[in-house]
Structure 1
Amino acid sequence: MHGVEECHDSLAFATEPVIGSLANVLGNYERITAPVSQELKDHDFIEAEIKYGLMQITEALSFLHYSEHKLHRNICPQSILVTRRGCWRLGGMGFLEENKENKDSFPCQPWTVKIPKMAQPDLNYVAPEIQLDKTCNYLSDMFSLGMVICAVYSDGNSLIGAEHTPSQYVRQLDQMHDLFGIIAHKMPLQLVDPVEKMINRDVRYRPTAHVFSTLRYFQDPVVASLQHLDTYDRKDLADKAEAYANLSQVIPNIPRKLLYKNVFPVLCADCKTSENIVYALPALLTMIDFAPRDDYMDIILPQFRSILSSTKPVLATVYILNKLDIILAKTPLDEIRSEVLPMVFNTLDSTSLQAQEAAVAAINGIKEYLDDSIIKKMVLPRAKSLFYRSTNVKLRINALTCIDHMLDSLDKMLILDEILPFLADVSCQDAEVVMTIVGIYKHMLSDKKFGLTHNLIATKVMPSLIPHTVNPGLCMEQFSDLMEVLREMLEQIDRQRRNKMKMETVTLTVPIRGSLKMQGEDGSGDEGITLQVVINEKSTSGKHAGGNVSEILTSNRDVSVTNKRNHSIQSLGMSLDEKTSCTLDKPLDIQRRHSLVPPGTGHPSISITSDDNSPDRPRRPSTHSLGPFSELERRGSRGSIFGTLGLGSDAPFISQRERRPSFQAFGESVMHLFSGK
């Protein structure tokens, strides 16, 4: 982490924070100053952590062997450092041997009692060819790594306990494979066979660092993601994006210990830099989504709070706003109001179209956390200001959309005082803006709680919308939507106005349509109907062309209709004789009320004219078929048929029942005249 600094009495450098060596973590506290930290005592490896650590050491050896052409010679738990993040780092480089001639094997100094033990590698992990043959190669480090793996699964105890004695080392070397059989039961099955080959005394059976790193044991998405994350600072932008994309997919599978020790610190560090926050945010939001609420409150939120309040690139802000539902689901209400809402409100003031659109969309998600005072003081002023100061149509639509999202959360009086006057004053002629306003009005018409009465519609809303019906910028679909809203407004005005007028109007009795009520002028109730039948008969042979035969029929017979007010004579469906007989015994006032004959002192007559062009036309029983009425003299008419029958004015009174046969005979005579007989 910091380069070497040297002076006359010291040599200093700084590494990333570590908790101790692998030997310390496994329980060896010999070289640690008292007291031992509780963190070190409580540290316990999980399988994923071991897998990831072994992968890191294998990569370090592969780099030394193939890139630097050097042999480590001191692979042991004491030379492996465990960082606070849980990573394994290879240290103890004081015994490196360089293969200058790039040979398969080269001479090497074995362990000896003539040199202090602190100046020599750990004898318990030295490869047999170094101690017995005084030669070494790259596979000697692989033997030492196999012994380290066995020590990890045996509580830090090596398979060889030489106790700094070469002779003891040789004796223990022969018993090593028997001890391995006991430890192998604790190892993952995929590691048993490779480790057994690594600790073989025959060098030819040992795998190289590169071959060992390709084992299926290491083909784990979690390990691969952690590996990419560990080398993140050495990657270009494309590799960083790929690394974090893969990390976001495997975060649900990463054990909690590795997640908060290895992953979370890197994410927080990258989210505080403007260059890397765009790549790190998706993984961080995924981590928040899958984190238990307690972990979010205790571990994530203290770091995430500073990320929310910091200055971020537009893309980072947009991503947070798009994923705001994840944050709202985990964040307490007081934190939402103090940290999340200000970020949304400030984004509304942004000059970035993309950021504003994200903020408008986020308003719909946070409206349940807003009261009328916050909306009135924070949201509406910003939305109105955004509309008035923007010349871009998209920005204006964003402002109107923000207001539309707020409608369901607003009080009725706030809508009438703030929203309605603002919408009525908008004079923009752009079609998209107009249709956005139409959509807001349509939203307000959907529920009475918005307070849009028929009075406001008629005086405030429609006068501002009607001019847009001739807006040339509207397409057919937009014009149809506008007219549909206007018709809905008119229907609401019609409905509410009629209901109000019905409640205010006194109910009056209105005569039923179709009823007739007449009274005689003299009040005597003596009505008569004079029937005049004119028959024009033309000669079919042409001999009597232009000749007319007329018969004047007069009758003093009283005709009346039924006493039901809502039915005419025609609607009864009865013959004239039947209708007459039904009213013989009725009182004269009832007959007068339903009479079709207008009152008068004389006796009016009814004229019926029949054209001989339709001699076979049947006579309808209804009085409507009688044709126009005309006044004829009835009394004293000489030569009339009634007179010849003794029914003239001077004839004695004959009752209705006595007149019926004579009238029937008269009807038969008339029918003979019509038929030409």
Structure 2
Amino acid sequence: KSFSRQLDQLSRLGSSSLTSIPEEVREHVKLLLNVTPTVRPDADQMTKIPFFDDVGAVTLQYFDTLFQRDNLQKSQFFKGLPKVLPKLPKRVIVQRILPCLTSEFVNPDMVPFVLPNVLLIAEECTKEEYIKLILPELGPVFKQQEPIQILLIFLQKMDLLLTKTPPDEIKNSVLPMVYRALEAPSIQIQELCLNIIPTFANLIDYPSMKNALIPRIKNACLQTSSLAVRVNSLVCLGKILEYLDKWFVLDDILPFLQQIPSKEPAVLMGILGS
């Protein structure tokens, strides 16, 4: 009797019973619930209904087949993902997409394509969500030095990282990445780092600024063979002087300026500016 009653209810199923289902697929769902097997659409027929042509649905379908794709296909997909993410519900992004993205961190070649999307999601997360869901996945990536684009991406998002990362993790993971950038053999990385430091210097704790950051900026200036790095070091110092106390400047920065080995016009201008 119970079975017959259930069949009867299915046969009289109205639209009011399916209000939680998107209107575009309600009729298809009613067909799926039909007691006659030949009336029910199969999986292939369901994937062809217009509702699943939605960019969000297509994106999720692609994620389901990600393991079948090569690196080139993945990279093209990840490049276009930032345009799609704003169109998807946050719950879907956090529960479905984020785990798929972070699982690609084991593939160094994919990190430069995946990381911008993860940081884009981080911007929309609360601090608590970021600490619980994203920061643990970023830990190993902070330490990666190749490909070089990884460091560039992080440097461009330092404001986000320093705002949402707990102080202990900033000291142990984020700032060491900045220090490595200042010591990197790549002039491009050093220049970018020196240009970006003033934009987040106000977020760095004073002991780290005084004992770790400033010595590395000074060393970059003195040891480099690049005029651009030397000038940018001086410009960087000039911009962060406001965060240093007067006595440190007098005892440490001014004597350092006298040690600079070159006297090119651009360097002299940088010294005067500092």
Q: Compute the TM-score of the two structures, normalised by the length of structure 1.
A: 0.36
Q: CA separation in 2, counterparts of 1:182 and 1:310?
A: 54
Which ranges in structure 2 are unaligned for 5 or more consecutive residues? none
Question: Is 2:214 aligned against 1:214?
Answer: no
Partner SS state of residue 180, structure 2: helix
2:152 aligned partner: 318
Tell me how far apart the structure 1 counterparts of residues 30 and 133 of structure 2 sit (CA, whole Å).
42
SS in 2 for 1:400: helix
Q: Which amino acid is 1:266 matched to? A: C
Partner of 2:198: 364
Contact 1:356 1:398 in 2 (8 A): no
Q: Which residue in 1 is equivalent to 2:249? A: 415
2:94 aligns with one of 253, 260, 263: 260
With over 3 angstroms needed to count, the CA separation of the structure-2 counterparts of 1:191 and 1:184, relative to structure 1, is farther
Query: Any residues of structure 2 matched to 1:408-557 within 5 Å, and which?
Result: 408-440=242-274
Equivalent of 1:404, from 225, 235, 238?
238
Residue 209 of structure 2 is aligned to residue 378 of structure 1: no
Amino acid corresponding to residue 179 of structure 1 in structure 2: R
Q: Contact conserved, 2:222 with 2:260, CA < 8 A, in 1? A: no
1:103 corresponds to which residue? none
CA distance in 2, matches of 1:304, 1:202: 49
Alpha-carbon displacement from aligned partner over 1:475-531 (angstroms, at most 9, x marks no partner): xxxxxxxxxxxxxxxxxxxxxxxxxxxxxxxxxxxxxxxxxxxxxxxxxxxxxxxxx
What are the within-5 Å matches in structure 2 for residues 236-255 of structure 1?
A: 236-255=70-89
Aligned residue for 1:233? 67
Q: CA RMSD in A?
A: 3.2
Corresponding residue of 1:395? 229
Classify 1:308/1:431 alpha carbon distance in 2 versus 1 (closer, same or farther; 3 Å).
Answer: same
Contact persistence 2:221–2:230 (CA under 8 A): yes
The CA deviation at 1:337 is 2.3
Shift of 1:219: 3.0
Please point out which of 151, 168, 183 is paired with 1:349. Answer: 183
Structure 2 letter corresponding to 1:391: S
Is 1:190 the counterpart of 2:19? The answer is no
Aligned-residue offset at 1:230: 2.3
1:223 & 1:185 partners in 2: Cα distance?
20
Structure 2 residue 57 is the aligned partner of structure 1 residue 223: yes
Query: Partner amino acid for 2:208?
Result: I
Residue matched to 1:526: none
8 Å Cα contact 2:102/2:137 also seen in 1: yes
Normalization by structure 2: what TM-score?
0.82
Q: Letter of the aligned partner of 2:111 in structure 1?
A: I
Instruction: Give percent identity, aligned residues only.
Output: 27
| CA displacement, residues 342-365 of structure 1 (integer Å, 9 cap, x when unaligned) | 211121111112221232233213
Query: In 2 relative to 1, CA 182–269 (structure 1 residues): closer, same or farther, beyond 3 Å?
Result: closer
Structure 2 letter corresponding to 1:285: L
Checking the alignment, whether the CA contact within 8 Å between 1:344 and 1:362 is kept in structure 2 is no
SS of the residue 1:391 aligns to: coil
Higher helix share: 2
Matched residue SS, 2:133 = helix
Q: What is the CA distance between 1:231 and its match in structure 2? A: 2.1
Q: Is residue 2:123 matched to residue 1:303?
A: no
Deviation, 1:334, is: 3.0
Q: Secondary structure at the match of 1:359?
A: helix
Please tell me whether residue 178 in structure 1 is matched to residue 15 in structure 2. Answer: no
Equivalent residue of 2:262, what SS?
A: coil
- Deviation of 1:320 after TM superposition, in Å, equals 0.7
Counterpart in 1 of 2:112?
278
State the secondary structure of the residue aligned to 1:275: coil
Ranked by relative contact order (alpha carbons within 8 Å, sequence separation 6 or more), the top structure is: 2
- Distance in structure 1 (CA, Å) of the matches to 2:229 and 2:77: 36
Q: Which runs of 5+ in 1 are unaligned?
A: 1-159, 163-171, 441-677
Q: How many residues align structurally? A: 269
Matches within 5 A, 1:507-656: none
- The letter for the 2-side match of 1:241 is S
Q: Is the 8 A contact 1:345 1:359 kept in 2?
A: no
Distance in 2 between residues matched to 1:315 and 1:284, nearest whole Å: 15
Instruction: Identify if the C-alpha distance between structure 1 residues 224 and 354 changes in structure 2 by more than 3 Å, giving closer, same or farther.
Output: farther
CA distance 1:202–1:389, change in 2 (3 Å): closer
* One-letter code aligned to 1:365: T
Match of 1:289 in 2: 123
Cα separation, partners in 2 of 1:291 and 1:373, compared to 1, 3 Å: closer
Decide which structure has greater strand share.
1
Paired residue type of 1:368: N
Q: Distance in 2 between matches of 1:395 and 1:266?
A: 39
Alpha-carbon shift at residue 201 of structure 1 (Å) = 6.1
Aligned CA distance change for structure 1 residues 227 and 270 (closer, same or farther; 3 Å): same
In 2: Cα distance, 1:267 partner to 1:182 partner: 37
